[in-house]
Each structure stands twice: as C-alpha cells, then as structure tokens.
Chains A and B, each alone.
Chain A
Amino acid sequence: MSETTENPIREAIADAINDHEVILFMKGTPERPACGFSARTVAALEATGARFAAVDILPDPRIRQELSALSNWPTIPQLFVKGELVGGCDIVVEMYETGELAEALGVEQPAEAAEPAADAPLSIENRLN
C-alpha cells in the first residue's frame, strides 16, 4: 500500500482525534459495547467522570484499518487524549487503578469509585459515526 494524501477516512479519523480532547475508538457504543475490552475501557473512563467522545469502528472495516495505520496500534479499543494515543484496554484500566487516568484526563477521580462501575452515568460529549 502506498502512502497518499487522498485518504478521506484517515483524514476524518485524524480530524476527529484532533477535534476532541478525549476520544475513544471502540467496538459498539458506550451504551452497548460490542466487546468486553471496549466495555472495560468505557467503564474505567466513566468511573473518572471525564467526558469523552466515542467512535464505533464496527460499521466500516476501513475505520479500524486506517486507525491502526495512523496510530501504529493493532487492537481496539484505542483512547486518545489531546491528540496522543494513551493506550488500549490494559493500559487504560491499569491507569485507572493507579489514579493516572484521571490525572491524564484532567479530572478529580471520585474517591468512592474503587471499581469502574458498569452502570456509571453516561457522560458522552459527542458521538461520531
């Protein structure tokens, strides 16, 4: 495959990453995650109380292909903060457990939130499709 600037999907992904301070690329939606790894990542994010945008990569396989090419990261979910890849499920959950996630997101982690709650209130700033 050759690198080209004529790549509207990759450009749309890059724009979405740049336009949203916190954006999660996942399988399914925060309300209905389609994969356990995406569900755990959403739960950790919601437990911090931070607002985030979410993109479902499932509707078009090219989204995942272009996202991974852009981020140099092979798996889904992928969390970006301020334009930078923070990590996938393992890193996000680990950062939640150490308190680093709230810090990276610029929020105060609720003290009572010992575990990411699957039924935490939704705080979706934006939804892209």
Chain B
Amino acid sequence: MFVPSTEELKLRIESAIPGARAEVTDLTGGGDHFRASVLAPEFAGMSRIEQHRRVYAVFGPDIGGPIHALSLETRAE
C-alpha cells in the first residue's frame, strides 16, 4: 500500500492522463485528504462528472483506501 504524498498524486495524474498538468495540495497535512486541480486537453467535450471520474480512475481502490478524500477541480485546456 502506498503512502500518498502530493508529489506522488501529481505524478500519477500527469503520467496517466496525456498532457495533464496537476496541482495537488494536502488539505489537512495528514497525508490522506487532498485537493487536486487538473488541466487536461482530453477533458474538452467531457462533462464535469466524466472529468472527475477520469481522475478518480487513476487511483482506483486507493480512493477510499489510503486516499480518504480527493477534492477535484478539473478543466479542459
């Protein structure tokens, strides 16, 4: 089981979604509640819910596991 860090989350998002740029902050300092702001070309034409699902899918079962919460802001660029 990986121990999440903001850098780890950023790298996972940016390597999984082509051309994505992510900024990740630790909301509580506890290493389990995060906020990510993600820009990606492929979000164009996707609904907000599809955009968020795409980012959640990067982490699979780690959401609800080591990552207790991941608050998202997504935008097409």
Contacts and interface: CB of A to CB of B under 8 A. Distances in A.
Contacts of A89: 71
Contacts, number: 32
Contacts of B72: 90
A85 B56 contact: no
A29 to B, nearest CB: 19
Interface stretch (A1-9, A15-23, A70-78, A110-118): A70-78
Contact of A75 (B48, B49, B70, B73): B70
A73 B64 contact: no
Contact of B52 (A37, A64, A88): A88
Interface string B1-39: 000000000000000000000000000000000000000
Given A74-B63, A75-B63, A75-B64, A91 B52 contact: yes
Given A85-B49, A91-B48, A94-B48, A73 B56 contact: yes
Interface of B: 48-49, 52-53, 56, 63-64, 69-73
30 contacts: A37-B69, A37-B71, A64-B64, A68-B64, A72-B53, A73-B49, A73-B53, A73-B56, A74-B56, A74-B63, A74-B64, A75-B63, A75-B64, A75-B69, A75-B70, A85-B49, A86-B49, A87-B48, A87-B49, A87-B52, A88-B52, A89-B71, A90-B71, A90-B72, A90-B73, A91-B48, A91-B49, A91-B52, A94-B48, A94-B73
